[in-house]
Structure 1
């Protein structure tokens, strides 16, 4: 649990929401609580991995509206990786141009 609290997601533009979810899943996957589903564990643990505006966002979700990990994950991705951000990244990739003598790595 300490590791989950040390590297939190705050909602800054330079943070990757998908990477954060993968990271949390990889850590939570290391422990098993008999009689408790992964869904319940993720619903309880995930908010502890957030800070700043992301923590305020999850704390303000209407009670009992997000009752599965899948719903929380979808809401989180929609909030911190909206389609407009994805479209912008795809546009940047599409417009990539290697200049002059630049190696691919340098470009």
Structure 2
């Protein structure tokens, strides 16, 4: 799999999207797929019995079932509750850590993000200004 995508399902979906966008037929997809693989995925593919796979759908199913352990599962907003601003650290550090994790959550509601963000803030002027101004969105 490419270095930028360590999630096998993400790699497979990106490949399929690119191929479908270009109107590539199923047989060509089967032949092109191994060119996108690296490391263990390339070794796995090279060990498949020649002519044992008839369709790209079948190849996708075998790839997925073999590499499902490497799939990155979606995070929920609950994981953000562990991020806290440390008393001796700058606000900017907390915001950076929070935003980095928040970006990994695909279905994050702004009201929930705001509640979790303020919950993790150290009690101080910034937190009180958020409450005073009745801030309701992350922006």
Normalising by the smaller structure, the TM-score range is: 0.5 to 0.7
Instruction: Identify the residue that residue 29 of structure 1 maps to in structure 2.
Output: 20
TM-score by length of 1: 0.61
Kindly indicate whether structure 1 or structure 2 has the higher relative contact order, using CA contacts under 8 Å at least 6 residues apart. Answer: 1
Instruction: Identify the residue that residue 3 of structure 1 maps to in structure 2.
Output: none
Instruction: Identify the residue that residue 55 of structure 1 maps to in structure 2.
Output: 42
**Distance in 2, Cα, partners of 1:89 & 1:24:** 19
Report how many residues are paired: 89
Instruction: Identify the residue that residue 63 of structure 2 maps to in structure 1.
Output: 76
Q: Which runs of 5+ in 1 are unaligned?
A: 1-8
Per-residue deviation, residues 30-82 of structure 1 (Å, max 9, x unmatched): 3346xxxx211211110111011111110110122212111110111111114
**Distance in 1, Cα, partners of 2:82 & 2:44:** 42
Q: Which moved more, 1:22-31 or 1:50-59?
A: 22-31
Name the Cα RMSD after superposition: 3.3
Instruction: Identify the residue that residue 19 of structure 1 maps to in structure 2.
Output: 10
TM-score by length of 2: 0.49
Extract structure 1 runs of 4+ deviating beyond 6 A. Answer: none
Structure with more helix by fraction: 2
Q: Which runs of 5+ in 2 are unaligned?
A: 86-93, 102-139
SS across alignment from 1:66:
coil
Instruction: Identify the residue that residue 67 of structure 1 maps to in structure 2.
Output: 54
**Distance in 1, Cα, partners of 2:66 & 2:16:** 19
